[in-house]
């Protein structure tokens, strides 16, 4: 997975004009208004944040322009059914690129966690963090091979300061130079991406690691989007 994200890391949007969808997912808000309208009352707080989550994942600034900071190309439907594995299990490849588009790579990761893992696995202490660190380390290796400036700050500590993290990844400050794609930034992107996917599911139907996802999204909402 990191190879795709690294290959298109911060590629100018003008060079991605051939993509089928504007955002890399089949659930992005512009195409899911019926599901948004069907949001249960108990998830009104999530519905209220739908527009903001969509803007964050699209890199949209308050003035309507879009940042390219940390943006890449996402598969958009990265689930086990769309992954092929070699007989020995050491290699894999994705297919079905119908929903490929621009966004943060964390959009694929949050979706894969929800679609491929179960509640018990993800609720184990440190399990989610270990999976994110695995992705992050391989992404950093791929970016370093390509000479990306995203590599430069390791930031792997779980207790990274939330205020500085939000400043690093907030839409208004998305073009700030010198801030690498740290684990803290990845965690924030996963929070946004998971909440956005869950927004779709509550109006369409629940599947995957929904217990874990619900607990995570409630925590995201409690901390503030």
Enumerate residues 6+ apart whose C-beta is below 8 A from 216.
191, 194
Nearest by Cα to 49 from 167, 212, 224: 224
The conformation of residue 151, written as its DSSP 8-state character, comes to -
**Residue 159 is encoded by which pair of tokens?**
């207790």
pLDDT of amino acid 19: 79
Torsion (CA) 117, 122, 124, 130 in degrees, nearest 10: 100
Contact 5, 108 (CB under 8 A): yes
Half-sphere exposure at residue 218, Cβ-oriented, CA atoms within 13 angstroms: 8
Per-residue pLDDT of the chain (225 residues; tens, 9 = 90+): 589 999 999 999 888 877 777 899 999 999 999 999 999 999 999 999 999 999 999 999 999 899 999 999 999 999 999 999 999 988 889 999 999 999 999 999 999 999 999 999 999 999 999 999 999 999 999 998 888 767 654 444 333 444 444 444 444 344 433 348 999 999 999 999 999 999 999 999 999 999 999 999 999 999 999
pLDDT of amino acid 1: 59
Half-sphere exposure at residue 196, Cβ-oriented, CA atoms within 13 angstroms: 33
Residues in the chain: 225
> Mapping DSSP to helix (H, G, I), strand (E, B) and coil, where does residue 102 land?
strand
pTM for the model stands at: 0.86
Helices (H), the chain: 2-7, 33-37, 44-48, 50-58, 106-116, 119-122, 127-145, 162-169, 183-204, 210-223
């Amino acid at each position: 997975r990191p190879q795709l994200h690294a290959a298109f890391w911060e590629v100018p949007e003008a060079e991605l004009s051939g993509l089928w969808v504007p955002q890399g997912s089949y659930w992005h808000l512009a195409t899911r208004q019926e599901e948004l309208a069907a949001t249960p009352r108990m998830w009104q707080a999530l519905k209220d944040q739908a527009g903001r989550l969509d803007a964050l994942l699209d890199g949209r600034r308050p003035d309507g322009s879009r940042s390219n900071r940390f943006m890449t190309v996402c598969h958009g439907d990265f689930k086990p059914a769309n992954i092929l594995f070699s007989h020995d299990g050491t290699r894999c490849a994705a297919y079905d690129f119908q929903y490929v588009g621009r966004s943060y790579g964390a959009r694929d990761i949050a979706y894969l966690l929800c679609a491929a893992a179960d509640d018990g696995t993800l609720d184990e202490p440190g399990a989610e963090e270990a999976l994110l660190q695995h992705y992050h380390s391989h992404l950093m290796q791929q970016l370093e091979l390509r000479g990306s400036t995203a590599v430069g700050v390791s930031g792997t500590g779980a207790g990274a300061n939330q205020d500085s993290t939000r400043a690093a990844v907030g839409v208004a400050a998305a073009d700030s130079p010198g801030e690498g794609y740290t684990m803290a930034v990845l965690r924030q992107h996963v929070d946004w991406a998971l909440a956005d996917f869950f927004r779709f599911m509550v109006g369409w139907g629940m599947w995957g690691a929904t217990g874990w996802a619900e607990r995570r999204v409630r925590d995201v909402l409690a901390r503030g989007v």
